[in-house]
Structure 1
């Protein structure tokens, strides 16, 4: 049996999740719980329960949100790679997709840049993943688009 629960829950880094992601993830859990590993669902539920939930515009740009592309390092191998945190239905849209309904995906949710977390992978091995960089965060991109719009009243010819 697979166990996807972080072992030392008292020593976990603080995580932040947007209200939109929190709501959508609760719906996704309800939809997928009957067909995926219950341990993975339980791990994600534990992460959501301990997360600080904020309005979308107040999420720090340094936290992993749904749709974020990040550079991560698996500490036991030293291997680095890119990962885009996705909902299960979006997995085939990204070459580097990691579903939030996997142990790694649940571990990444809300994790700040330069922080690491231990989790149990689907093979039962204890792993540690660290977020090295956040290359894209949808909420930060939206804030950038809003602030970079040109004010039409300042148009001088």
Structure 2
């Protein structure tokens, strides 16, 4: 799924106003205890904020199913809030470095993030599926 890569500028991102508000609050509340919260907050600072109806279908939002491609092959994950995270089930928290890098990106973009041991990893976003109604709440 991922491989070491040189530093690149972060991709442009777009988020709904509701996700922006909730994720900014979540990041601010977690800033002191969760290192990835700073990355999420930085993403929200550079995000283009729009109404949910204008958010393109291929944008990663909360609850989206994302197909990532990297040197380990394709991997399917779902982007979730911290309480719903389950790595074994492929449910990745937005408060992880990978989750923070994914929010607001689109199919066709590539992302990079830092692991806890300091490595820089990258993956290509091959596909994004909209969240189900149940996961949008």
Q: TM-score, normalised by structure 1?
A: 0.73
Q: What SS does the aligned partner of 1:29 have?
A: helix
1:83 aligns to 2:77 (yes or no) = yes
Q: How many residues align?
A: 130
- 5+ residue gaps, structure 1, are 1-5, 143-157
Give the one of 125, 132, 136 matched to 1:131. Answer: 125
Which moved further from structure 2: 44-53 or 87-96?
Answer: 87-96
| TM-fit CA distance, 1:36 | 1.6
- 5+ residue gaps, structure 2, are 1-5
Give the one of 105, 108, 115 matched to 2:109. Answer: 115
104 and 15 in structure 1: CA distance in 2 versus 1, 3 angstrom threshold: same
- Give, in whole Å, the separation in 2 of the partners of 1:13 and 1:43: 13
Partner of 2:61: 65
Q: What SS does the aligned partner of 1:36 have?
A: coil
- Give, in whole Å, the separation in 1 of the partners of 2:8 and 2:69: 20
Over aligned residue pairs, what C-alpha RMSD do you find? 2.4
Structure with the larger helix share: 1
Give the one of 64, 73, 92 matched to 1:98. Answer: 92
Verify the 8 A CA contact 2:28 2:41 in the aligned structure 1. Answer: no
| TM-fit CA distance, 1:93 | 10
Q: Which has the larger radius of gyration?
A: 1
Verify the 8 A CA contact 1:84 1:94 in the aligned structure 2. Answer: no
